[in-house]
Amino acid sequence: MAPKVVEYLKSPPSAAHLAAILAKLGKGPKDIVRKKEADAAGIDVGALSDQALIAALAANPAAIERPIVVKGDKAALGRPPESVLSIL
């Protein structure tokens, strides 16, 4: 199976899809937040539950760290790029 880059700026994920990606990453929503973009969108990361933060990120995909590469039941953040090698 070829890896798939989730282009969520072009096609934003639903909260459920984002939660599934987080499960594949083995990370929580705070681990994939782009802080400047979250601040600009008015997302108070520290004040939100994980579920509320996932919903906020789904509504504001620019605040999600990118790229995320998904391959089967695994995913990796593409920063640094070498991290993707572990799932290929």
Separation CA 4–CA 69 (nearest Å): 6
Residue 54 backbone class (left: φ over 0; alpha: ψ -120 to 50; beta: rest): alpha
Please give the class, per CATH, of domain 4-87.
Answer: alpha beta
Comparing 7 with 35, the larger pLDDT belongs to 35
Torsion of CA 82, 53, 57, 72, to 10 degrees: 50
Domain edges within the chain: 4-87
Separation CA 3–CA 83 (nearest Å): 13
pTM to 2 decimals? 0.89
User: Would the pLDDT of 6 be above 80?
Assistant: no
Dump pLDDT digits (tens) for 16-72. 999 999 999 999 999 999 999 999 999 999 999 999 999 999 999 999 998 888 888
